[in-house]
Chain A
Amino acid sequence: MRAARPRLGRPPAHLLVPAALAVAFLVVPIAALVARTPLADLPQHLTDPVVLDALWLSLWTATVAMAISLVVGLPLAWVLARLEFPGRSLLRVVVTVPLVLPPVVVGVALLTAFGRTGVIGALLRELGITIPYTTTAVVIAHTFVALPFLVVSVEGALRASSREYDEVAALLGASRGRIFRRVTVPMALPGIAAGLLLGWARSLGEFGATITFAGNFRGVTQTMPLAVYEALQTDPEAALVLSLLMLFVSVLVLAVLRERWLGRVVP
């Protein structure tokens, strides 16, 4: 037996029209990209070792960046959502700053911190550790730009799920750590999943911070966007094919994740 749902009437045009415009705006450039791509060349590029190196590097650095983001970002989101302390609003702003910085500026900022002559980088170098030009630098750049996506998304989810559940669990004798694991996190799972996907996608498309901070060398720091940029300079058609390939792989991964994992948590 289903409860009768109240009739809400027809959806208003002033919502449908802008929504349709938004869809067109997002779809047209992608469709144009697909239409312009010489698809016959796709198999040839798919077996190009330079492309495979870049694709593989992109996929795993983005994944590692999200793993790191989860380990430090989830607790940070919890602190922002559940604890009350002076300076919380300021901290919230600080966390979102990387979202508005131009990526190249992020790259320069990372160099001044972790570069060979950077504030922390110079100390590391004395210990024999150099970060620029390594895959570690790529992961750092990706984490820096993607972490805020995760924190913002998870914090929103945590604030949306009422504190009252936490309080009930506390009344029943659960410790704060146990409440976090057994109540807070499970309830925020959709937000966490969404944040991870957003961050992962942002990571995959990252260009400016990566090339500025990490550099551009095949197999070490050359991610897919960097390979696309290089191809664009000599062979624009190859760049189109590579872009499409990247698009295809990311859509595939997102679709599979949604099916396998998100399907259960996201309605």
Chain B
Amino acid sequence: MTRRRAAAAGLALLTAVLTGCSSSAHESGGAKQKLTVLAAASLTESFDTLAKRFEAEHPGVDVVTSYDSSATIATQVVAGAPADVVATADTKTMDVMRKGKALAGPPVVFTRNRLALVVPATDPAGIEQLADLQHADYVTCVKSAPCGDLAAGLLAGTGITNPPRSYEVDVKAVLMKVELGEADAGFVYASDVVAAGRSVEEVPLPQGTDAVTDYPIAVTADSEHQDLARSWVDLVRSREGQKVLAKAGFTTHAGTSPPA
């Protein structure tokens, strides 16, 4: 009996450990330098690609990326989460970090993303235009996340009074609901439409309702690798970086295209 009890206690502890550790960066062994990049969930694919290139160009450097809602990143960084570079999906969340004195210098806008309305490839609710949302089960991000803020702003200008069925934690959660067919439609970014491939289809928005958000990037004040962190920002803003972002569905930001 006691042995069984002990086993049960062990199991409970295991549960706590498993559920408790979420996205903490894995430790790298040896003398490798670790560059920690915290970025908006929508940057997942492009930053993963750029991380590989960066590591190839900087032997001995291990780029650790972590993706989350921009609002969560801002909260964590202000609270002292270890990070070298932060990139968010709007200037509002970046301002939280700037005001929290968490940045080494002023942030720069490196790309833009367009809000997109997507439906599952099967389009179960037959949504052909924005107005069809009035009679559909759609989802958006929480209003505190840039994607939710944009969607709320866009919807406020239309006659749609039907609220979303759920406010998801971040844009990838919205995409998942649409991909699984658990929502008739959802507001994501143009970059997510590219990332999702054929599992979703974009519904064109009426002219004039376009909602675009700027993506700023900055080196953190607490970064122990300021030079390396700046090299990452340079890579993201370089022609090569912009190409990767454009391929991922982002809109190249005119003001940041580097000379040659």
Which positions in A face B, CB cutoff 8 Å?
96, 99-100, 102-103, 111, 115-117, 130, 132-133, 152, 156, 159-160, 208, 211-212, 214-217, 221, 229-230, 232-234, 236
Contacts and interface: CB of A to CB of B under 8 A. Distances in A.
B19 interface: yes
Interface residues of B, number: 33
A226 B168 CA distance: 10
Contacts of A211: 168-169, 173
B248 interface: no
Given A115-B180, A232-B75, A159 B1 contact: yes
Given A102-B19, A159-B1, A111 B180 contact: yes
Given A99-B15, A217-B164, A115 B144 contact: no
A111 B14 CA distance: 25
B18 A217 contact: no
B5 interface: yes
Contacts of A99: 11-12, 15
A156 B4 contact: yes
Please list the 9 inter-chain residue pairs (A to B) with the smallest Cβ-Cβ separation, ordered nearest first. Answer: A215-B166, A233-B71, A233-B144, A117-B181, A133-B165, A234-B144, A216-B167, A99-B15, A115-B182
Contacts of A212: 173
A68 to B, nearest CB: 21
A12 B142 CA distance: 53
Contact of B166 (A117, A133, A156, A234): A133
Given A215-B168, A232-B72, A233-B144, 15 more contacts: A96-B11, A100-B15, A103-B19, A111-B180, A115-B181, A116-B181, A117-B182, A152-B8, A156-B5, A159-B1, A159-B4, A211-B173, A215-B139, A229-B169, A233-B72
A267 B18 CA distance: 33
Nearest to B166: A215
A40 to B, nearest CB: 21
Contacts of B139: 215
A144 to B, nearest CB: 14
A216 B166 contact: yes
A53 to B, nearest CB: 14
A204 to B, nearest CB: 15
A216 B15 contact: no
A229 B169 CA distance: 9
B46 to A, nearest CB: 23
Q: Which of B72, B145, B173 has the most CB of A within 10 A?
A: B173
A160 B1 contact: yes
B5 A234 contact: no
A239 to B, nearest CB: 9
Interface string B166-188: 11110001000100111000000
B66 interface: no
B182 A116 contact: yes
Contacts of B181: 115-117
